[in-house]
Amino acid sequence: MTLNAPDPVAGRGLRILAVDDVAPALEELRRLLLESPGVADVAVAGDPITALRLIQAGPLDAVFLDISMPGMNGLELAALLARMTDPPVVVFVTAYEEHAASAYGIGALDYLLKPVSAERLAASLVRVRRFAGATGSTPAPSPVDALAAVPVELAGRTRYVRRDDVRFVEAHGDYVRLHTPTGAHLVRIPISRLEEHWQHAGFSRVHRSYLLAVPAVRELRSDLSGGLLAHTDVGDVPVSRRHARELREHLLEAATRGAFEPTDRGQSR
C-alpha cells in the first residue's frame, strides 16, 4: 500500500507506517493514528518485507511496529532500520511487555502495549514530533542512541536498564553502579564514557566518582561538614566544590525548560 498524497495542510503533519501481521490490529492502529491530531498520512504493511519496501520508497517520520511476526520479527526489522543513514524513529506496539528492555536497547523511541489507548498514543506522538521534527514535508534525521539503555549481566541473563530510570551513576574502578528506583546495577563501563554519551540527556558530572541526572534532583542539602549534597529519591549524591556552581546552573536551566519530572519519575508509564 502506498502513501496517500497529502493536501498542503496535512503534508506538514507526520507521515507514519504501521506494521502488524494481524489485520484487525493493523486496521485499529491505523484508525487511531489517522484520528490523532498532527498525523498527515498512515501507510500500512502486513509483513516486514513490505514494510522495508515502503520505508525505502519515501520519507517517513515514524514506524509503529509489532514485534511478534513470522519470518522477521519487529526487533530484527528495527535493527535493520538502525543501520540506515536517515532512519525513521521506531515505536513498538505489542501485547508482550517482556520485550521492552530489548526494544529500548536497540534505540526504540517508545513502547506501547496493546490495546493502545488514545491517550497513550497521543503521548507517544508528542515524542515522535519532538524527535522527527515534522514541521514540514521533510523529516529530520533521527540518530539511534546506542546507550539509551545499558545491558546488565546477572546470573547468565541479560537485562537492560533504561537511562531514563537512572538517578545517578557511581564509579567503581572500571565499573559503574547505576542507581535506580528498582535497585543498583553494576556494569562494566567507564564513567567517562557514560558522561560522554549521556550529557545531552541531562546528566552532569558533579564529582570525580558521580554522574547525576539533573532532572532527578529533589533538593540541594548540606552535609555535616558543610559540603553539598544533591538529594534524589534513591539517595544523596556528593557534589564537589568545583562542580557546585555548574550544577546550580544546570538546575536553573532545567527548571526554565520544565525538564523536571513528577516525583513518580521512573515508575510504570
pLDDT at 212: 96
Tell me the average pLDDT across 185-204: 89
Tell me the average pLDDT across 86-99: 82
pLDDT at residue 100 greater than cutoff 90:
no
CB of 212 closer than 8 Å to CB of 176: no
Cell digits of residue 69: 511476526
In whole numbers, what is the pLDDT of the chain averaged over residues?
Answer: 81
Name the nearest CA neighbour of 208 among 239, 178, 180, 244. 239
Q: Which one-letter amino acid corresponds to residue 183?
A: G
pLDDT at residue 1 greater than cutoff 70:
no
2 compared with 184, residue with greater pLDDT: 184
The model's pTM: 0.48
Cell digits of residue 250: 544546570
45-54, 125-134, 143-152: which is most confident: 45-54
pLDDT at 230: 94
Q: Which domains does the chain have, with CATH numbers?
A: 10-132 (3.40.50.2300), 149-257 (2.40.50.1020)
pLDDT at 14: 93
pLDDT at residue 98 greater than cutoff 80:
no
pLDDT at residue 132 greater than cutoff 70:
no
Q: Which one-letter amino acid corresponds to residue 84?
A: M
pLDDT at 3: 46
Q: How many CB atoms lie within 10 A of CB 153?
A: 12
For the chain, give the percent of residues with pLDDT over 70: 80
- Tell me how far the alpha carbon of residue 237 is from its chain's centroid: 25
Summarize pLDDT for 205-230 with one digit per residue, the tens: 999 999 999 999 999 998 888 889 99
Residues 6+ apart with CB under 8 A from 70: 21, 47
Tell me the average pLDDT across 24-47: 94
pLDDT at 5: 39
pLDDT at 255: 77
Summarize pLDDT for 48-89 with one digit per residue, the tens: 888 888 988 878 999 999 988 877 788 888 888 877 777 889
